[in-house]
Amino acid sequence: MSASGLQSFAFHRHEQSDVVDAIRPIVGFDRPLPDGRPAIAGLDPETAARRYLTEAFASPALPTFNTPEIDGKASEFRTLGTENVPLTGTQVVKFRQVYRRIPIYGSLITVELDENNELLALNSTLGTPPADLNVMATLSPAQAMDVVRQRAGQDAESINALPRLVFYFHEPEQHWHLAYLVENVTRRQPDTPKGAMRRAPELMDYIVDAHSGNLIAELPRTQSIHPQGMQPTQELLFRRRRMEPEFEEAADGLGVRRKFAAKKMGEVWKLIDSELNVHTYDFSFHDLERDERLLPGAYVGRPPEPWDPAAVSAHANAVAVALFLRKVLKREGLDNRGGPVISSINCCYGGGGGKEWHNAAWIGTQMVYGQRAAQGGGIRSYAVALDVVAHEILHGLTDHTARLEYAGMSGALNESYSDIFGVIVSNLNNPDVGTWNWEMGEELETSGIPIRDLSQPEKYNQPAHMKDYEFLAVGPLTDWGGVHTNSGIHNKAAYHLLTSKDAQGNFLFDPREVAAIFYLALTQHLSRTSKFIDSRRGVELAARTFLRNDPRQKEKLAAIGAAFDAVGITSNLGANFEPNKLSS
């Protein structure tokens, strides 16, 4: 069992074809279909995935992969849905582990099938709560909400959330709980811990013990560019068809001329990209804490002349991210359903007065951008930096998929994925990876000093190897366990991968390949409590499928292993996933 209380296991057909053959026989599906395909291709993916899962649990070929039993009763597996993955031409069926109809927090089984429903990969993270844990809650849902309201400083009508029972493993005490999970609650605490910096609106998940009523965990959901508690460009050139080509051109917050889509409504042009569903608003320097009900604000429009440069940055950069999702990752928006991407400029927070708020954040449903004084007068929006915009908006991708906790190593992984995507988006028009800008956010500070550097994390007080991992308590004074600090380790692995070279000294990967592989790992193989080693396993699994027809697959897989080895993210990191051979 790992420190998260969950047991991991994985294999891929590429590495263990004998195992796949052993669990392949499915009674009644021996004869081929009329079109010559195997009969299993006629099943719906969920049915095929369940049959493979049943065979895998029972097969002697996988002696360490067993259905977790609690007090002699086997777990069940609830379907989370089937996703067609255009990047790989595969179908992924996901399951959540449940016991006595109660989900195991952080559990996940991913079954990946090819176009004929043949098994490609299986990846699982499962838990085994103790048999003596009382599964009958003594605390009512209403009482759990009272605990949450008291902690969050909210009244009953303000919280639009329902408590759900889960089995929750509390890492600090290494103990299982039957608990209520209450998600996406805005915390409105009038008091700020001494020494803490109130960086952004606080969106929280709460875990309340279903027997004692104790608050077990308070997990932050707001993902911002700056650490909590601690003191610390060019446009993508994609072609796209438009039903109604309505383009404007204006200077952004850095003085760069940008082309962007707008929509004429009456006599006013507004910052709406109808095709990509991108919308940009002005919050008029309202306080996000006091005036949250006014979000997102008023559409940025013209007239008055000219276009607001900060709004041009926010809008054009959000469009660049939406195009990256569509063209590179083959995904329609953050939710994969074409949902809106909403941004608000001119935001403030914390009741300090004035117009400065040095941050940008994804607050669960949209982007909010602060601003700082600029050299020569005026203010500069945090929306000017494409890497920062991509970083923050793509936290929304994590929210819609793996929903990685924003604390400890899971939080550092959450930050790292956004850093990786942010750097790739901001450099994607430069075909020479050797001249990429690996720094993030240098446009934000008047000094030009960046926030982080993927190539040299140490420059900005981040570790670059697991031997230097900073074990910090999880809380608001320590940036929730150093999520903006320890992310440097996983970032450096991605840097090693992006700059891997072949024997002739040429870069081995197209950056779009790396983006796709990390995206597949995040969205198909990770769950709330995943750690760095889970990410490595997910990246290796994703790469085996994504590169399965690549003649250089073996060389590229070796480079992936070397990239993670170089930063100490190895299979002996504390997560036992035998007989996984993916890191050998």
Annotated active-site residue in 275, 392, 513, 540: 392
Q: Would 262 be classed as within a structural domain? A: yes
For residue 158, is pLDDT > 70? Answer: no
pTM here? 0.89
Angle made by CA atoms 167, 169, 173, in degrees to the nearest 5? 140
Does 392 qualify as catalytic in the annotation?
yes
Structural domain contains residue 245? yes
* Whether residues 108 and 165 fall in one domain: no
Which of 355, 384, 413 corresponds to the end of one domain?
A: 384
Active-site residue, 525 included: no
Please confirm whether the linkage preceding 579 is cis (ω < 30° from 0). Answer: yes
- Please spell the DSSP secondary structure of 527-565, one letter per residue: -TT--HHHHHHHHHHHHHHHTTT-TTHHHHHHHHHHHHH
Question: Has residue 445 got a pLDDT over 50?
Answer: yes
CA-CA-CA-CA dihedral for 534, 537, 543, 549, to nearest 10? -150
Q: What are the beta bridge partners of residue 94?
A: 81, 110
Express each pLDDT in 142-155 by its tens digit. 999 999 988 888 76
- Taking 70 as the threshold, does the pLDDT of residue 31 lie above it? no
Say what the pLDDT of residue 334 is. Answer: 96
Selecting among 484, 490, 496, 525, the annotated active-site residue is 484
In a domain, 409, yes or no: no
**Residue 540 belongs to some domain of the structure:** no
pLDDT at 573 over 60: no
For residues 250 and 171, state if they share a domain.
no
Q: Is the domain of 209 the same as that of 279?
A: no
Residues spanned by the domain of 121: 6-127
Do residues 172 and 305 share a domain? no
Query: Quick one: 152 and 294 in the same domain?
Result: no
Report how many domains make up the chain. Answer: 3
pLDDT at 15: 83
pLDDT in the model for residue 449: 55
Instruction: Find out whether the peptide bond into 551 is cis, omega within 30 degrees of 0.
Output: no
Write the pLDDT tens digit of every residue in 248-269: 999 999 999 999 999 999 999 9
Closest alpha carbon to 310 in 198, 375, 389: 389
Q: Is the same domain home to 213 and 71?
A: no
pLDDT of residue 477: 86
Question: Considering only CA atoms, which of 326, 299, 312, 313 is closest in space to residue 248?
Answer: 312
Q: Does residue 183 belong to any structural domain of this protein?
A: yes
The confidence score (pLDDT) of residue 533 equals: 95
CA–centroid distance for 133 within its chain = 32
CB 455 within 8 A of CB 440: no
> Does 336 share its domain with 366?
yes
CA distance between the termini of the chain:
20
Structural tokens at position 20 = 């796949």
Q: Is residue 98 part of a domain?
A: yes
Sequence-distant (6+) residues with CB within 8 A of 224 are: 199, 200, 359, 360, 361, 362, 392
Residue 193 pLDDT exceeds 80: no
Instruction: Look at residue 576 and tell me whether its pLDDT is greater than 80.
Output: no
Q: Which residue did the predictor score with more confidence, 442 or 49?
A: 49
Q: What is the DSSP letter of 501?
A: B
Among 223, 249, 273, give the residue marking a domain's end. 223
Q: How many residues does the chain have?
A: 584
Please indicate, yes or no, if residue 579 is contained in any of the structural domains: no
Query: Domain containing 306 — which CATH number?
Result: 3.10.170.10
Q: Specify whether 217 is located in the same domain as 285.
A: no
Contact 330, 87 (CB under 8 A): yes
Model confidence band, residue 231 (pLDDT cutoffs 50, 70, 90): very low
pLDDT at 426 over 80: yes
CA–CA gap between residue 159 and residue 154 (Å, rounded) = 7
297-314, pLDDT tens digit by residue?
999 999 999 999 999 999
State whether 244 and 343 are in the same domain.
Answer: yes
At 195-212, the pLDDT tens digits run: 444 566 778 899 999 999
Together in a domain, 252 and 215: no
Alpha carbon 451 to its chain centroid, in Å, reads 20
What are the residues facing 95 on neighbouring strands?
Answer: 79, 109
**Among 5-19, 116-130, 458-472, which is the least confidently predicted range?**
5-19
Lowest mean pLDDT among 34-43, 52-61, 146-155, 467-476: 34-43
pLDDT at 373: 83
pLDDT band for position 69 (50/70/90)?
confident
User: Residue 297 domain-assigned?
Assistant: yes
Q: Last residue of a domain, which of 94, 127, 160?
A: 127
213/243 same-domain check:
no
Q: Which of 51-55, 184-188, 482-486 is the most confident on average?
A: 482-486
